[in-house]
Chain A
Amino acid sequence: MSDILTPLIILVVLLLSAALLTWVERRVLGLWQDRYGPNRVGPFGLLQVVADMIKLFTKEDWIPPFADKVIFVIAPMIVMTMMLLGFAIIPFSSELQIVDFDHGLLFFLAISSLSVYSVMLAGFSSNSKYALFGALRATAQMISYEVFMGLSLMGVVILSNSFSLRDIVEAQTEQWFFIPQFLALLVFMIAGIAESHRAPFDLPEAEHEIVAGFHTEYSSMKFGMFFIGEYLGVILISMMIVTLFFGGWHGPWLPPLLWFLLKTALFVLFFILLRAATPRPRYDQLMSFGWKYMLPLSLINLMITAALTLWNQ
């Protein structure tokens, strides 16, 4: 029974926290920008989430007549499914993990590379120029940054001798990996932001040049799925950072699960702070930054890690 119940509970909690994050983001952004943010509905404006949900669900679900209908409907589902699948391998604590897959890290990379299809197909099926521009940018950005993301993680794999996320967390009992793998952490974080196309790397949906990018034509809950998918992506990346570099559930005094959630919350807030604090680069700057700095950096990190490991043997 608990085999079915635990994933279900995790699923519901994840969806709720992704929805709540829309409120948290606006409130916290408001705080940092010296204004209030949504504070009218319910205590602290907490019910704003419910109000937004009612609005999204009752809006007209419009499919443009010029769109490729089947793909148009499938595209937002892909991002939701892929992001939710990603949580299956996350070790929340030593007891709480849905699947302990011994190639979990590769599974994560596969999930993130398949989620590219969502934005790409959304842009293609919308059959409108802004959506297509957004999709082109998103695809180029995501497949470039995937390369560095995968390479930066290999250092962690060398240190822990395993692709399994559980083993990686176990290997961090003595020392968290953000100290020996600082370069990798840097690369992974930047690649993570680019993968979930959050600000400052949200060029696929930059409002001032290409309307809303790949989801220009989307309305109602289909748009909502892209929206929630993005927040799920932020939570997933934060959880991966905690698992791979900050010792997962390890920590003194408090129970393991609480430690994991606290660390995750910290990184989610960091992602929001980045959005509040940094301007958007130009698109070509983003791409050349990736290939000219991130790729060499992740390769150097990989080489140093491998050399040190061989030296110590």
Chain B
Amino acid sequence: MTSMLFYLAAGVAIIAALLTVTRHNAVHALLYLVITMLAISLIFFLFGAPFAAALQIIIYAGAIMVLFVFVTMMLHQGELSVKQESQLYRPAQSLGAILLSTILLFEVIYLLSPQAAVIITPDTRVVIGAKEIGLKLYTSYLLLVEIAALLLLTALIGAFHLGRRHQENSK
């Protein structure tokens, strides 16, 4: 049952990801990306990481993608931008991306092969909840958390500065 659900979710993720790349309407493409996020969250959940699954939805699908759609929605020009978009895209441009993702594909195939001993089955599955993640974050990875916090603070101050100057200009 679990493996059935996994293949279903993985299939949805792959199809949605492909549609994300190929859609000419930017908002539609972003919505497919949201579906990819939801499918990936389900995969996290199946592999015993309910906390990561919840964060995937709350942060990626529920906040970051919302902002993406938000901005695209404002810039979207209807039919016109769809036409522009379809002229901009040439298959040759995605050559680099295809090359890089082929490497990833081989890695995934290797990981799924019997030699690699990391296959997660319902028997070997360990549920990693909020407590385990919290302990790791604030002991082994404390430095990284601090650096990330600093980075975010810098971004916040930067955004504040940009917004402020804009306000003075408009007066």
By a beta-carbon cutoff of 8 Å, the part of chain A in contact with chain B is: 68, 71, 101-103, 106-107, 109-110, 113-114, 116-117, 120-121, 123-124, 127, 132, 135-136, 139-140, 143, 146, 150, 163
Interchain CB contact under 8 A, B62 and A116: yes
Interchain CB contact under 8 A, A102 and B62: no
Q: Which 9 A-B pairs have the closest CB atoms?
A: A113-B62, A106-B54, A110-B57, A124-B73, A103-B50, A110-B58, A109-B58, A139-B70, A113-B58
Question: For this complex, into which size category does the number of interface residues on chain B fall?
Answer: 20 to 34
Taking chain B's interface residues, is the majority helix, strand, or loop, or is none over half, making it mixed? helix
Question: Total number of A-B contacts with CB less than 8 angstroms?
Answer: 69
Interchain CB contact under 8 A, A106 and B58: yes
State A211–B51 Cα separation when bound (angstroms). Answer: 41
Residue of B nearest to A124 (CB): B73
State A20–B74 Cα separation when bound (angstroms). Answer: 37
Q: Closest CB of chain B to A119's CB: distance in Å?
A: 11
Residue of B nearest to A125 (CB): B27
Interchain CB contact under 8 A, A113 and B73: no
* B105 contacts the other chain (CB 8 A): no
Interchain CB contact under 8 A, B73 and A135: yes
Q: Closest CB of chain B to A233's CB: distance in Å?
A: 16
Known: A71-B31, A114-B62, A139-B70. A163 touches B57 (CB 8 A): no
Residues of B within 8 A of A101 (CB): 50
Interchain CB contact under 8 A, A127 and B54: no
State A117–B64 Cα separation when bound (angstroms). Answer: 12
Q: Closest CB of chain A to B85's CB: distance in Å?
A: 15
Residue of A nearest to B50 (CB): A103
